A and B are shown apart, each in its own frame.
Chain A
């Protein structure tokens, strides 16, 4: 075991698509990376809803999650763009504004915690795969190369806002395309590839009919370009694409999280990918 990270689960992966959680655990084990549970962590909390309701609460709860990882002395690894966005932004805000650190610590003291700051990093699992593990090491684990046309969906909070994330070009990124192609599929171009799935910002919860119109626009573009699967790195985008196809007729495009794609390519047991909770059957 060389690398270790604190696994931040969030809400949608463990509670709606547990296959994503299982696949992540198995895939990183196969790559000799140790994921340590971040016991007692909660919601990130969600950037679109909770941060929109009350920034003070959002920052305090995010700082609590960060403080738990600090106690373990481990960088956080997230499997969701929302969790990544929330925790990364919170750590950034606290790095920039020391007064906010004081305010947050006044609250955390009441629950026996302290956020020191700048001790640990918040990472997205796809960034860890690309930068720390690397394409070559990933390729060496592939026993079941997959052959299909993948429509990669980056989602919004992976590389944006790029001013602080500095992961990839926000309009023409390549990290996920490279990660997908490393295990076999061809990553296709499609219109408005970088567009939002529609779920974020509390839109799915508040006005799902509008969120679904955005999703349908994306689905139509994927279909037109011949995409056979959608590959995502965010359980919320995943849920939005998968469940919208229940209500919008004319689509049958399976949705897979990158961890599940890797699980299949690494030859891990198919039943561990948890495809049973997917609305659109995954026939791979």
Chain B
């Protein structure tokens, strides 16, 4: 039988340099994986989605950058660590996924909703805003209207933002 189009098996060229960059960024255990699939079988997100942890780790070992970085699957992990607990080779799977996500963001692959969370964290010190309803509720509970965090402290907020100017987070997420 002749296969065509989507059915055709393709051979992908490994990219050892990309695989090496994952290891260098902290994924030292990447090559310990022998593809048993315990991770995929343990993944609660994999029950609901097409995300397959074993497959992602294989692609990472081969350095298949173009497959990994733009994919939605990369963002289906909830960082629950169940796979890490059960991995017979003690691969730091969750850490490797977070390294790959860092690479994806650097290449500009970032969901708009994630940009919003990141920008709120940068500009207010918190991932979510403090709205008037909750200010009122805090007062009713006898708490300070604003929590004693970065929120109500201009000097602390200035320091907070300065750190992200130094690390380049402001530019990374495309905010101000």
Contact = CB atoms under 8 A, between A and B. Distances in A.
A205 B167 contact: no
A52 B76 contact: no
A226 interface: no
B102 A199 contact: no
Contacts of A206: 75, 111, 113-114
A61 B49 contact: no
A57 interface: yes
Contacts of A37: 148
Contacts of B137: 18, 274, 276-277
Contacts of B47: 214, 217
A96 B98 CA distance: 19
Given A52-B102, A156-B80, A14 B149 contact: yes
Interface residues of A, number: 70
B156 A40 contact: yes
19 contacts: A14-B147, A22-B143, A40-B148, A48-B79, A49-B118, A50-B118, A52-B79, A53-B110, A54-B105, A54-B167, A55-B102, A112-B159, A195-B80, A201-B78, A202-B111, A202-B114, A203-B78, A207-B72, A211-B78
Interface string A12-56: 101110110110000000000000011111110111111111111
Contacts, number: 212
Contacts of A48: 78-79
Contact of A15 (B79, B85, B118, B129): B129
A41 B157 CA distance: 9
Interface of B: 25-26, 44-45, 47-49, 72, 75-82, 84-85, 90, 94, 98-99, 101-102, 105, 110-111, 113-114, 117-118, 121, 125-130, 134, 137-138, 141-143, 147-150, 153, 155-156, 159-160, 162-164, 166-167, 169, 172-173
B127 A272 contact: no
A196 B45 CA distance: 9
B142 A22 contact: yes
A247 interface: no
A214 B47 CA distance: 9
Given A11-B126, A18-B141, A110-B162, A52 B101 contact: yes
Q: Which 5 residue pairs spanning A and B have beta carbons closest together? A: A40-B156, A14-B147, A42-B125, A111-B159, A160-B81
